[in-house]
A and B are shown apart, each in its own frame.
Chain A
Amino acid sequence: MEAVVVQNMTKTYGKEKTLAVDNISFSVAKGELFGLIGPDGAGKTSIFRILTTLLLADSGTASVDGFDVVKDFKSIRNTVGYMPVKFSLYQDLTIEENLSFFATVFGTTIEANYDLIKDIYVQIEPFKKRRAGKLSGGMKQKLALCCALIHKPTTLFLDEPTTGVDPVSRKEFWEMLRRLKEQNITIIVSTPYMDEASLCDRIALMQGGKILSIDTPDDIVKAYREKLYAIKANEMYPLLKVLENYPGTLNSYAFGEYAHATFKDQMKNMEEFERFLAEKQLTGVEIKSIEATIEDSFIKLLH
């Protein structure tokens, strides 16, 4: 059964009709962990807000748990959990007060659904008398997740839940999501971090309001057919320039401490390329063939 179905959704903003979501269609199965991956301005938040009935799309249809986002918005508001990009809890209330407030607003109590949030809540429980505004980024996100989960939602919308959170907390957060998935909760999560994409069941790579590709992380990587090389030199910036100027280069870009590049003819003539680099007085050159990551796939899709 499909938990979320989006068909030909388009959304523009303002009088200038700035396009935020451009004729998008996708569906998410019940119990799936689905990721919307893309940089800022890709249209992720707009999709979230349309699905959580906060915004109306210009055209197209969408449903959550079988409810239409326009007609049955009340039913959707009863059943989904939503965690916006910005930390949106009451900074001047304590952890406990925030949680019990949201529990009451959703017509339930902390005790009734404690088992669902227990794993997460025990981590912040020692600080339950502390005001939310004084928590660290990771703790804030855990509290926000607890608040979004407290009414046992059927579908959970998490808009960039790990932005601004330290790497350790990010990792913990994703482990929590995997555990929630076991409870048969459909989770739709957005993130600008490519490394998190591989943790989803399926992902949609987004850019400029469009979905570039939608598949499992593995299949997206497999679809990357070119041979990819990681190249390093002591002089990084000149190396990037050289790669751009090399006639055989298909595509090249900085990637951490390496430069990634693909070449015409799958690079049959490696010696010629090495000679070319040596001519440009680059030192400490290191070239290796590597497996593509989702980020490489994304960059390729952008070209």
Chain B
Amino acid sequence: MKQFISFVRKEFYHVLRDRRTLLILFGMPIAQILLFGFALTNEVKDSEILVVDYAKDNASQQILTHIGASRYFKISKAALTQKEIMSTFQAGKIKAVVVIPVNFNEDLLHSNKAQIQLIADATDINTANMIINYLSAIILEYQNQINENLEIPYQIIPETRFLYNPQLKGAPGFVPGVMALVLMLVSVMMTAISIVREKETGTMEILLVSPFKPVLVIFAKAFPYLILSLINVTAILLLSVFVLDLPVKGSVPLLFAESTLFIITCLALGIFISIKTDSQQFAMLISLMGMLLPTMMFSGFLFPIENMPLPLQIISNMVPSKWYYIIVKSIMIKGLGFSSLWKETLILLGMTLFLLAISLKNFKIRLQ
């Protein structure tokens, strides 16, 4: 234990005495938060929407046919109460709900005015905006169609509601994304580089010829980055709460627990990279190409996964940050608890154990 502590202390010296590492460690999260403040546009395709048709009349059927004909949406129908609608949203599958009230056709025919309710999950504001715009356009088109030969026009008024993020702030979407990105980079790249550095400078040679267990070397190297990454999580959350005005809706301890799990996943990945590479440059390249890009592409943070071709969607399941992104989004923005997240948590846990297992199996107690 004394050896372990001494090792960890040494590791902290390394980090704190290297200005460049420090800059990457703590400058990056802040830079990222500022950079990603600009929202990104993206297209929506095959979004799952739910239709709750209380009217079940002529007009409502026609509107639904129009929506169904669009390539943007996949419709499922259900008769749900307002409360049940909320819980479907929390399950996370449905992007928007179209509610057609009772007497829709009659209202339209008699008072020339009818309402239709559109509710969207605004956790991801880009998608939500897009879906609402498309839906409104389809409804408007239908309205124009039936008005063609009429003197007194009919009016269908879409009443829009954004769930979870009513002010459509940009932050909710990108804060979890930045968290996934930063933790991925810090944990994977820094651990990989710092272990490979010992190989490159030859200190690993001395450490191997010592009573210190080689496996402990690895854990002692990873441990400081767990602490530093948790500091980063705290920093990002503080920035998000006090600078971006985005409070954490769910449980903060749960968020930290899940973050710790994700950091360990990343550390395991970093350890695996470090075992397989022999130079710092190579380790860095692998970390960047192998981690940063997939995190950006496949976590659902920048590009909606549901728009990707199926093979890419399958690949996205193998990216740990995708699951972490879902978890953070759910806790921070939707305020969900562990009961809704156990599946994602289990996947991350499985990935971590798998990575640790193959790392230990591949770990070399000798130089070759």
Which A residues lie at the B interface, using CB under 8 A?
A: 49, 52-56, 73-74, 77-78, 80, 82, 84, 86-93, 97, 100-102, 104-107, 147-148
Contact = CB atoms under 8 A, between A and B. Distances in A.
Contacts of B7: 101, 104-105
15 contacts: A49-B367, A54-B208, A54-B209, A54-B367, A55-B367, A55-B368, A77-B210, A77-B211, A88-B202, A90-B13, A90-B203, A92-B18, A102-B210, A106-B210, A106-B212
Interface of B: 2-3, 6-7, 10, 13-14, 17-18, 201-203, 205-212, 365-368
Contact of B2 (A73, A97, A104): A104
Given A89-B206, A105-B6, A107-B2, 14 more contacts: A54-B208, A55-B366, A77-B210, A82-B205, A82-B206, A89-B203, A90-B10, A90-B201, A92-B14, A97-B10, A101-B7, A104-B6, A105-B207, A107-B211
Contact of A84 (B2, B6, B14, B206): B206
- Which among A74, A77, A100, A105 has the greatest number of chain B C-beta atoms within 10 A? A105
B124 to A, nearest CB: 43
Interface of B is mostly: helix
A147 B18 CA distance: 23
A301 B366 CA distance: 34
B127 to A, nearest CB: 47
Nearest to B210: A105
A78 B368 CA distance: 20
A106 B203 CA distance: 14
Nearest to B204: A88
| Most central of A52, A54, A89, A106 by chain B CB within 10 Å | A54
B219 to A, nearest CB: 14
A303 B227 CA distance: 62
Contacts of A92: 13-14, 17-18
Contacts of A77: 208-211
Contacts of B10: 90, 93, 97, 101
Contacts, number: 79
A53 B209 CA distance: 7
Contacts of A105: 3, 6-7, 207, 210-212
Nearest to A107: B211
Contact of B366 (A53, A91, A104): A53
B210 A104 contact: no
Contacts of B2: 104, 107
Nearest to B17: A92
Nearest to B364: A54
A68 to B, nearest CB: 14
Nearest to B212: A105
Contacts of B13: 90, 92-93, 97
Contact of B206 (A49, A88, A104, A107): A88
B213 to A, nearest CB: 9
Contacts of A148: 206
A88 B209 contact: no
Nearest to B6: A104
B2 to A, nearest CB: 6
Contact of A86 (B3, B202, B367): B202
Contacts of A147: 206
A107 B211 CA distance: 8
Contact of A90 (B14, B210, B366, B367): B14
A54 B208 CA distance: 7
Contacts of B203: 88-90
A14 B211 CA distance: 29
A82 B3 contact: no
Contact of A104 (B3, B202, B365, B367): B3
A11 B18 CA distance: 39
Closest 6 CB pairs of A and B: A88-B202, A104-B6, A82-B209, A86-B202, A54-B367, A78-B211
B210 A88 contact: no
